[in-house]
Chain A
Amino acid sequence: MTAADFSLFLPLAVLLIWATVLLIVDLFIPKERKGWTASLSALGLALTLFLSLRQWGETASGFGEMLRVDPFATFINALLLLSGLGGVLLAYGSIRRHGVERGEYYTLLLFSVSGMMLMAQARDLILLFLGLELLSIPLYVLAAFALPRLDSEEAGLKYFLLGAFASGFFLYGTALLYGASGTTLLSGIAQAWSQAGRNLFFLVGAALILVGLGFKVALVPFHMWTPDVYQGAPTAVTGFMAAGAKIAGFAALWRIFTEALPGLAPDVTPILWALSALTMLLGNLLAIAQKNVKRMLAYSSIAHAGYILMAFVPFGVPQVRDVALAAGLFYLITYAITNFGAWAVVSALERQAGQGLELDDYAGLGSKAPALALAMTVFMLSLTGVPPTLGLIGKFYLFRSVIEAGFYGLAVLGVLTSLISAYYYLRLVVIMYMRPGEPQPVANPWLNLTWGAMAILTVLFSLIPAPLFWWASQSVLR
């Protein structure tokens, strides 16, 4: 381990050490002062973010090519750390109220973020797997964090079992790729592919890795866990999970396929196409049938996984690949901002013991809490892709790049499924404004900050999206 290696590893190391130390410090923080733990974890995330952003523009590999710092990794890291901060905000605003506040929560969140960052930076399949597990296991625990509640336990257990199942596929794929190329390094696999040419091991290995990661980002048909887990897990966890796990999963997917298996594009593209189409279609269709906001948003997040995957479909078309990937990264920002805002609103309306999560509980919000309802409307519009929100810009870039690559069918499907999604997103708006009711929103400053800031950002960035898109297009994997 050289000094150069360590400097690459620095943000990740700081976060890991911070988390470990926080685990010990937390023991000395009294139960009613867990705010300290939250603040310290946020401080750790902020510090890591600072260190990570200092790496902006660097492109280097370390630890024998196993770890990578490049704009893509920095971009993903920043997004992940911000998601972590969002997770802390959400949690601090809600878990005490829900009676599940424990110091371990923040530590586990930090460890999960570390795993996510590792996935974005790893260039070795083993290391990727390590990151995947480091991401997943804290999430399993967090999903079951509302311990006495059965649905939370169920969520944790389901997530764990199915996560393990999916990890098995990932691992099996890794094994096959190793078998085909004799190495777990992405660069090595790419080299082996170019020497050996197309063979079944590569194909099957790649397919299984796709399945493993597809499970994490909730692509149909590997999505079945999502509604149950999202609904059962504490809302703060769900918000974090929906953003962070998805970002990390896609980051890993893009890195593996662009760096290790670019030659597989002709074979994989139809599969990606089908997965994207299915995910958008089913996610949106099933969301319509939901009565529970958390389940609805779960399906919504599934559907958005389909949209994000769309950006990766043209990865075999060299002229469009970069633009498409930039659109994908941009859409990740869009999704993260809107997602946190929406979950913050859900959190604000969630009463003890998982009450206040039905769609009908939102009736009358428009008159009772106009600002909150307006913010939620903004998020719903953004998720639908209606101006003046970030969602429109994100979808515009996505569809444009897909059309440029010639996947007209996918673009049409994307538009049509957006149309379908308007049905359930706007239904919530209709319920908020046009049905009388007595909602009891919680006015927590941290939650208010979250949904308020996110709503403003959603509108603001839709008016000036150029800087964000510039950043995204600078962060494309090359």
Chain B
Amino acid sequence: MHFSEAMPAGFFSLAPWIVFFPLLGLLVNLIFGKRLPERAIGWIASLASGAAFVVSILLALSLREHAEGTRVLLAEWIHIGNLRLDWAFRVDTLSVTMMLVVSGVGTLIHIYAIGYMHEDVRFKGDPGRYRRFFVFFNLFIVAMMILVGGDSYLMLFVGWEGVGLCSFLLIGFWYDMDTLGRPSWANSNAAKKAFVTNRIGDFGFLMAAFLMFWSFGSLNFDEVFAQAPLLAQAMPGLVIAITLFMLLGVSGKSAQIPLYIWLPDAMAGPTPVSALIHAATMVTAGVYLIARSAPLYVTVPAAQYIVALLGATTALFAATIAVGQYDIKKVLAYSTISQLGFMVAAVGMGAFVAGMFHLVTHAFFKALLFLSAGSVILGLERGHHHLAHATHHGKEHDPHAHAEVFDPGDMRNMGGLRKRMPVTFWLYLIGTLALAGIFPFAGFWSKDEILADAFREGYQAVYWLLTIAAFFTAFYMGRQIWLVFFGEARHEAAAHAQESPWIMTAPLMVLAALSVLGGALNLPGLHSLTSWLEHTLEMVHPGEFIFPVAALSTVLALLALGLSWWVYGRRPLVAGQVDPLKQALGPLFIALENKWYVDEGYWAVFVNRYIALARWLAEKVEWAFWHEWFHDTVLVRGFNFLSQKVLHLRLDRQVVDAFFDGLATLTGRIARRLSPLQNGFVRSYALMVLSGVVLILGYLLLKG
């Protein structure tokens, strides 16, 4: 890794604009948005994101000539003693790859969201949120760019927290209503869940950063990586601790076991959010983090193995759950967790290129799938809306027409959409094939590279886990296709579903093209991504195409698709029918439906315990013990006892008062005793005077 400390060459100096453009967009919308029409807001946000994409492309072009990259200093930040942390952008092949994905896919989703949010706010009856959505969206791009562009773990963490905040804001975007627009706090609870779970991950990140600072004395990538091999030799335990704490952070952000549970709930956010944040970009931040920290991980193989195994386990685990889901977005959510597992397993094995490759292709086809799913959902919304108006016009006013519980995301309400929404169908199919890893779609190449690397590097367990996961992937995607697009409509809304407008489908077509052709990035033999990334990641080597591996995974994928046809396609589901797989698998499927009861388990093991502990602390310790007993009994009663019984009664009354009362009584008694002397008789007075004289004279005489 050689970094030119000279003046940034080419377009490198533009690097800060990847942050400034979206920032500008968000400020414009924030300040002037109220007076701008809806479309303008959307296009300003999209242009801001698009400008960042253009800058990313320019940076990539410069990197072709100066592959070593550079560091672009924006502002000095923390300079204490030897510690130097700056707002500086690191422009190298790895970060620019991420920038391209984030801004490229981001821009497409921005454009898609112009159409989607227009209808979404219409259906949910709150057009005022349109502007807010795009402000959040641009803010997310800003934070994500800081995350991927940062030159130090601290700056990365700023972005890391920023995207976490945006995720929270956008999951809870409809914080006061559910997907049907009914008052509910479900979405804000989902947002909370995501945020809290991510905080646990952030704890790991922070611990890693603190340990790093403690052992390396720096958080800058270069300085840390330069010392990493030495430290790994001297104190391997410390580096393992750093990497594993970092893994905790990764499992939070990239939704791996054990912290993945927030991602399915995050589907509460509008679909573009699910596509951009919870599929294409933010959740891959963990993968990026491990890839970025590659010099650290390669020094400790033990940690690498744990990472790989964790990713593979997650991949399979999530893939099984996806089989049992009915919500179109939930299936994709578990699919995302599973695919992130592939990536984490890849970067864990040291197959950083494969991981990044899959990251990019996944961004394409998963964004495509999510957005298509959004198109499906809106299509159903339109159908439902149309239906409600039709009954309205038909004078058969049914007060329950609108109140009817209709979930446009539930695949059991769909069916036969292939005819109603042909464009969406084809797009969705492309995404499905890409995800299932069918030749020659993008997913085939990237997934195969991971499997090949696992096979070749001897990660047997990882290889088999991932292969089985790939089988399940193809199966649940096939299940989706049959359930959503084939058969007969199982709901009136599905029967009246309408195709989405071009502003939504156009970006999808671009994504579909990328999903088809994305594999070209790193075709076996060409290894263009490998040679691109090896400028940054020195340890990478071109992967080999291993035919048996590719053949096996392809056969399994096709088998899975066929199986799904046999279960769902052969005899299409009819309205009200139980999932055929449920009949076949019984309790096992119920367990899948219920996500292996992981959430329940977490509730039982952690959350309920935590709540019980919190309640115990609040009710018993804080209230009963501290407030009621300690304050009210010990302090108040004790104080009362001390003040009233001891100080007041004993000390004040019985000692101090008694003393002074006694003194007063004594004084009064003396006064009364003396009073009789004052008898009013002049002779007694004179006698008194005389006795005084006698006393004085007697004293003087006796004194001599």
Q: Are B689 and A211 in contact (CB under 8 A)?
A: yes
Given A211-B693, A288-B668, do A228 and B700 touch, yes or no (CB 8 Å)? no
The answer to the question of B583 belonging to the interface, with a C-beta cut-off of 8 Å to chain A, is: no
A270: chain B residues at CB < 8 Å are 699
A289: chain B residues at CB < 8 Å are 668, 671-672, 674-675
The answer to the question of B686 belonging to the interface, with a C-beta cut-off of 8 Å to chain A, is: yes
Q: Are B688 and A224 in contact (CB under 8 A)?
A: yes
Which residue of B667, B670, B672, B697 contacts A204 across the interface (Cβ within 8 Å)? B697
The answer to the question of A208 belonging to the interface, with a C-beta cut-off of 8 Å to chain B, is: yes
B683 to chain A, nearest CB (A): 9
Q: Are B700 and A208 in contact (CB under 8 A)?
A: no
Q: Are A222 and B699 in contact (CB under 8 A)?
A: no
The answer to the question of A470 belonging to the interface, with a C-beta cut-off of 8 Å to chain B, is: no
Residues of A in contact (CB 8 Å), total 33
A residues 154-213 near B (Cβ < 8 Å) are 157-158, 161-162, 165-166, 169, 200, 203-204, 207-208, 210-211
The answer to the question of A221 belonging to the interface, with a C-beta cut-off of 8 Å to chain B, is: yes
B337 to chain A, nearest CB (A): 80
Q: Are B667 and A221 in contact (CB under 8 A)?
A: no
Q: Are A271 and B682 in contact (CB under 8 A)?
A: no
B672: chain A residues at CB < 8 Å are 289
The answer to the question of A14 belonging to the interface, with a C-beta cut-off of 8 Å to chain B, is: no
B677: chain A residues at CB < 8 Å are 224
Q: Are B689 and A286 in contact (CB under 8 A)?
A: no
Q: Are A211 and B667 in contact (CB under 8 A)?
A: no
Given A221-B691, A224-B689, A289-B672, do A211 and B682 touch, yes or no (CB 8 Å)? no
B667: chain A residues at CB < 8 Å are 285, 288, 420, 423
B residues 659-704 near A (Cβ < 8 Å) are 664, 667-668, 670-672, 674-675, 677-678, 680, 682, 684-686, 688-689, 691-693, 695-697, 699-701, 703
Q: How far is the CA of A244 from the CA of B691 in the complex (A)?
A: 27
B680: chain A residues at CB < 8 Å are 228
A233 to chain B, nearest CB (A): 15
Q: Are B678 and A227 in contact (CB under 8 A)?
A: yes
B678 to chain A, nearest CB (A): 6
Q: Are B689 and A221 in contact (CB under 8 A)?
A: yes
Q: Are A285 and B699 in contact (CB under 8 A)?
A: no
By beta carbon, the residue of chain B nearest A287 is B671
Q: How far is the CA of A402 from the CA of B675 in the complex (A)?
A: 30
Q: Are A423 and B689 in contact (CB under 8 A)?
A: no
Q: Are A286 and B671 in contact (CB under 8 A)?
A: yes
The answer to the question of A396 belonging to the interface, with a C-beta cut-off of 8 Å to chain B, is: no
Which residue of B684, B689, B701 contacts A222 across the interface (Cβ within 8 Å)? B689
B702 to chain A, nearest CB (A): 12
Given A285-B667, A285-B671, A423-B664, do A225 and B696 touch, yes or no (CB 8 Å)? no
A221 to chain B, nearest CB (A): 4
Given A162-B682, A267-B700, do A215 and B675 touch, yes or no (CB 8 Å)? no
Q: How far is the CA of A10 from the CA of B677 in the complex (A)?
A: 45
By beta carbon, the residue of chain A nearest B672 is A289
Given A285-B671, A288-B668, A289-B671, do A210 and B684 touch, yes or no (CB 8 Å)? no
By beta carbon, the residue of chain B nearest A157 is B682
- Contacts beyond the supplied A214-B692, A228-B680, A423-B664: 19 A-B pairs with Cβ under 8 Å: A161-B686, A166-B689, A169-B693, A204-B697, A211-B692, A211-B696, A215-B689, A221-B688, A222-B688, A222-B692, A224-B684, A224-B685, A270-B699, A282-B674, A285-B671, A285-B674, A286-B674, A286-B675, A423-B667
A residues apposed to B, CB below 8 Å: 157-158, 161-162, 165-166, 169, 200, 203-204, 207-208, 210-211, 214-215, 221-222, 224-225, 227-228, 267, 270-271, 282, 285-289, 420, 423
B residues apposed to A, CB below 8 Å: 664, 667-668, 670-672, 674-675, 677-678, 680, 682, 684-686, 688-689, 691-693, 695-697, 699-701, 703
Q: Would you mind naming 15 contact pairs between A and B with Cβ atoms under 8 Å apart?
A: A158-B682, A161-B682, A162-B682, A162-B685, A204-B697, A204-B700, A207-B696, A221-B691, A224-B685, A224-B688, A227-B678, A286-B671, A288-B668, A289-B671, A289-B674
